[in-house]
């Protein structure tokens, strides 16, 4: 029988399962990506990225964070080169 939820896995998306799966998967994804981009780049997990200056109303809200950020190891700044799979909280 085909899944009644195409593109979703109801087991993994349960609140009691998702966070653990997500954290384990992001760790593995980060390690796999790091092996491919060394030595010119490095991968960081749980890095906060600001896309724009929040308005005064937004400053008190947590807007989200990316799952994985890729940084150029030759740059002095901590500005990411790219961000993958942003997790944005819409409040």
In a domain, 28, yes or no: yes
> Is 43:70 a contact under the CB 8 Å cutoff?
yes
27-49 burial code (b ≥16 CB/10 A, e <16): eebbeebeeeeeeebbbeeebee
Query: Higher pLDDT residue, 76 or 53?
Result: 53
Residues 4-61 pLDDT 10s: 667 777 777 788 888 888 889 889 999 999 999 988 888 888 877 666 676 777 777 7
Can you give the pLDDT at residue 27? 92
Q: How many domains does the chain have?
A: 1
Query: Higher pLDDT residue, 90 or 48?
Result: 48
Residue-number span of the structural domain to which 70 is assigned? 15-88
In a domain, 7, yes or no: no
Residue 67: which pLDDT band, with cuts at 50, 70 and 90? confident
């Amino acid at each position: 029988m085909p899944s009644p939820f195409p593109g979703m896995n109801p087991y993994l998306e349960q609140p009691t399962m998702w966070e653990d799966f997500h954290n384990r998967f992001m760790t593995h994804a980060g390690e796999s990506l790091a092996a491919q981009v060394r030595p010119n780049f490095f991968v960081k997990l749980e890095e906060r990225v600001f896309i724009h200056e929040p308005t005064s109303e937004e400053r008190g809200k947590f807007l989200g964070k990316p799952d994985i950020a890729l940084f150029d190891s030759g740059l002095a700044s901590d500005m990411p080169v790219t961000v993958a799979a942003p997790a944005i909280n819409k409040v």
